[in-house]
Amino acid sequence: MERMNRFGVSFAGKRIIDIGCGTGNYGLLFAQEAKEVFCLDFSGNMIDARAAEAASRKIKNVSWIKSSFSDFDISGLEKGFDISFASMTPAVKSEKDVLKMEVLAGEFCVFVGWAGKRENRIADKIISAHGIDPYSPKGFIEVREILRKRGISFSEETFENSWNWSGSIEEAVEDLSARIKLDGKSPDTALIKSILEKQFPSGKVDMETFAAQGMLIWKP
């Protein structure tokens, strides 16, 4: 949020749509300043978890809907939000998706995506075991190119980042299975569990990811 603030994006008193919200971490953070936050994701489990958290924390200015962005009907919502926001999500990847973000936003569009580097030793091993070549996603680079081709002025910033994921083996199996499904493969949960159990005999999984990310900000 500090990075976005430096580029003139303010969330205070604004209406925000969080596209492909996932676990909803940004949406709940925005809610501390925003007038209203509308979170959208195709995963009902993720939405249910964060809706429950919002309720437990008595956050009342966040709403949720289960839908893919491609299927989301924006009729009547033209410029219905001040800010269209999408972070680390496959929901925005084509020119059509970018244009849809712009239709919804009155002030700013903000996109945060992978910038060609994502390394996680354990996850990469499991992905390779499913016949998928580990790759470095380039959502930031691809959306930036879409904006350039359209002649859209934008601000950008790239940055290195790393984070740890911790949880039970069962939670890790679920998380990694979702990642494998995104690559069009059927996850072998028994195989994933076997690899994790050998790596983490205590039953507690701790994985670190190293990545390069980029942020794009433009006016619709």
Predicted local distance difference test score (pLDDT) of residue 84 = 98
Burial class (CB in 10 A: 0-12, 13-18, 19+), 152: middle
The contacts found for 33-36 with CB under 8 angstroms, 24 or more apart, are 34/61, 35/61, 36/61, 36/62, 36/63
Structure confidence by residue, pLDDT tens digits, 51-64: 888 888 899 999 98
Structure confidence by residue, pLDDT tens digits, 205-219: 999 999 999 999 999
Residue 92 token pair = 């925005």
Predicted local distance difference test score (pLDDT) of residue 45 = 80
Predicted local distance difference test score (pLDDT) of residue 136 = 81
Give the distance from CA 40 to its chain's centroid. 11
| Residue 24 scores a pLDDT above 90 | no
> Considering its fold, how many domains does the chain have in total?
1
127 falls within a domain: no
128 falls within a domain: no
Predicted local distance difference test score (pLDDT) of residue 69 = 96
Predicted local distance difference test score (pLDDT) of residue 51 = 81
How many Cβ atoms are within 10 Å of 13's Cβ, its own excluded? 10
For residues 103-114, give the mean pLDDT.
97
Strand bridging mode 62-66 / 36-41: parallel
Predicted local distance difference test score (pLDDT) of residue 16 = 98
Helical segments of 34-168, H only? 44-56, 95-104, 121-129, 139-149
Strand bridging mode 62-66 / 81-87: unpaired
- pTM tops 0.85: no
205 falls within a domain: no
Domain that residue 98 falls in? 2-118+135-163+212-218
CATH label of the domain that carries residue 107? 3.40.50.150
Predicted local distance difference test score (pLDDT) of residue 39 = 93
18 falls within a domain: yes
Nearest to 21 by CA among 70, 88, 109: 88
- Helix (H), strand (E) at residue 4: helix 2-6
| Residue 142 scores a pLDDT above 90 | yes
Lowest mean pLDDT among 11-15, 182-186, 214-218: 182-186
